[in-house]
Amino acid sequence: MSKCKEPHLADPVITEEDSLLVRNPILRSLYQGLAVLCIILGIIGALLPLMPTTVFLLMAVWLSVRSSPKLNDWLLGHPKFGPVLKEYLHDRALSPKIGYRALAVLWLGIGVSAWLVPQVILKVLLGLTALAVSSYLLILMRRYQKH
């Protein structure tokens, strides 16, 4: 008799999505709540001209894949946002059309916010945040062009 264990047909198959799920129930609930918040902000961004959509939906996908397969399936199956989000998940890339639109709205929103905020430290933080998000979006667009 062999000592090596053969796989049993009833053993569950671990998928990549299952391996990304956060096991800690508190952290998983936090991620799920943040994903819902990002979805709400993304939808608001689709309706308001100064609010970004893409950045919030990308964060929502990242959070939902780690917290709620049901929420993630809903996001990826959405007729408007699903194709872009699937492309992001599959290739970690973003089309230049979507990326440049996201950059324009991001900088417009940050610019207006910086103009309205009187504290210099907040203006600096807004600028640093915009630079970080812009860098990430540019990396995603560069990856898209290599396809």
pLDDT at 13: 35
- Is-contact 36 71, C-beta < 8 A? yes
- Is-contact 107 130, C-beta < 8 A? yes
Token pair listed for 132 = 């970080």
pLDDT at 134: 94
pLDDT at 1: 47
- Is-contact 86 76, C-beta < 8 A? yes
Q: Which residues of the chain have pLDDT under 70?
A: 1-18, 145-147
pLDDT at 138: 93
Token pair listed for 14 = 């671990």
